[in-house]
Amino acid sequence: MLSALFYHGTAPDALDKAVFRWVWPHRTGLDPLTAVGDTVPVAVLMVLLCYCCLALRRYRGAIMVALAVPIASGITELLKHLIHRVYLDFLSFPSGHTTATFALITCIAVLLIDPPATKTPASMRVVLAALAAGFGAMVALALVAARFHYFTDTVGGAAVGIGVTVVIALALDLAAARFDRSEAGRVRPAEPAQHR
């Protein structure tokens, strides 16, 4: 829906202006966060998260992390050219930095939903997921304060990152469930008769 509103647009809407006015006074504190969605930090975080998943034998989690950011970022680049919203002479909708950040954050949230054999209380996992989401929101606001994006660009990027990651997680779960059913349905060979 946002893509239709901003198709070939060049101007901020009322929400963009309001958020910019709100974050502009805090820009110096937010500036360091603009680099979080860059290629190198995202790649490092992806590798670390994949390593953690593999170390814990959460193979579907590792596959999800390895696929989520590249696929979400690819879709974002395609959407930028299709929607063609321009901000300061570059295509801005949806925000690629926000897409990558929220794809990683959603991976973390999915992994925290049902960790294997852990004694970590559910309340702590919810708090960790909320902190990750709050960090993602701060990155999005930093991009607005630094005049890299309109606020609605970051909303679009977050939607792509979250949506793609959730779809990948569900697809992996469905594939695993189908594999488990096919394995359970196989008839075990009969054991040879024992002679007394």
**Per-residue pLDDT averaged across 143-155, rounded?**
88
pLDDT value of residue 188: 55
Q: Does residue 186 belong to any structural domain of this protein?
A: no
Q: Residue 168 pLDDT > 90, yes or no?
A: yes
Q: Does residue 113 belong to any structural domain of this protein?
A: yes
- How many independent structural domains does the chain possess? 1
Q: Does residue 129 belong to any structural domain of this protein?
A: yes
Distant-in-sequence, close-in-space partners of 122: CB < 8 Å, separation ≥ 6: none
Q: Does residue 94 belong to any structural domain of this protein?
A: yes
Give the chain's radius of gyration (CA, Å): 21
Amino acid at 4: A
**Per-residue pLDDT averaged across 65-88, rounded?**
91
pTM over the 0.85 mark: no
Q: Does residue 192 belong to any structural domain of this protein?
A: no
pLDDT value of residue 196: 47
The residue segments making up the domain with residue 87 are 28-176
Nearest alpha carbon to residue 166 among 126, 118, 111, 121: 111
Interior angle at CA 80, CA 75 and CA 82, nearest 5: 90
Strand partners, 10: none
**Rounded alpha-carbon distances, angstroms, from residue 56 to 50, 175, 178:** 10, 20, 23
DSSP string across 90-129 = EE-SS-HHHHHHHHHHHHHHHHHHS-TT----HHHHHHHH
Q: Does residue 84 belong to any structural domain of this protein?
A: yes
- Quick check: 161 and 106 in contact, CB under 8 A? yes
Q: Residue 31 pLDDT > 80, yes or no?
A: no
